[in-house]
Structure 1
Amino acid sequence: MPVIKILPHAELCPEGKEIRAARGTSVCEALLDHGVEIEHACDKSCACTTCHVIVRQGFASLNEADETEEDLLDRAWGLEPQSRLSCQAIVADQDLVVEIPKYTINHAREHH
């Protein structure tokens, strides 16, 4: 099983984390399954940008982004060439290093 290394994020994963993910799992599902509460306002349906991640290593091993994802990514905060929506990025055989951006564009977010 590939390893996903999550770089430290002040709110979601302050110390960073390494998790194992089954091939064919979305990065978003893998993070959620291991207690990293990444936002996913559209319930992982590729309709928002709240699950945006930057893939620092292993980007080429992921499935290609489709046109809908590419269009949405244009609206993501902190967009970089290695940006993906984690709900659409499918884990293959290679380990990944991902960074969760500091901000998202989620006007409906509630802090509990």
Structure 2
Amino acid sequence: MRNIPVNLGGYRLRIAEAPTMKTRKDKDGREEIVTVDGVTRYVVSLFVKSDGAKGEEIRVTLETDPGEGFEEGQLVELIDARVSPYSFRNDRGETVSGMAFAAMGLKPAA
């Protein structure tokens, strides 16, 4: 199951690392910018916290350019937030699993 809608309405989302273009290493170990259908992906690190809870840092892939003006410490909201579970075997034969967060975009908190 992929792209499960997520309701983060009861949480405060604070930028831990400002949005940047998403990159990955190619087969030769060089950094390359991630694009899907010619559209550059971005990534942002957010600290997610609700009242009375400790909080958690997550990385979110953004499907659109968030634009200028997003800085560390700023409260934001995700547009069309989703999560996808994943599990795979890496090159060492270990099983790696987790949750990948994605959103259409980012906007300042109201």
TM-score band by shorter chain is under 0.3
Larger radius of gyration: 2
For normalisation by structure 2, the TM-score amounts to: 0.27
More strand by share: 2
Q: Which has the higher contact order (CA 8 A, sep 6+)?
A: 1
More helix by share: 1
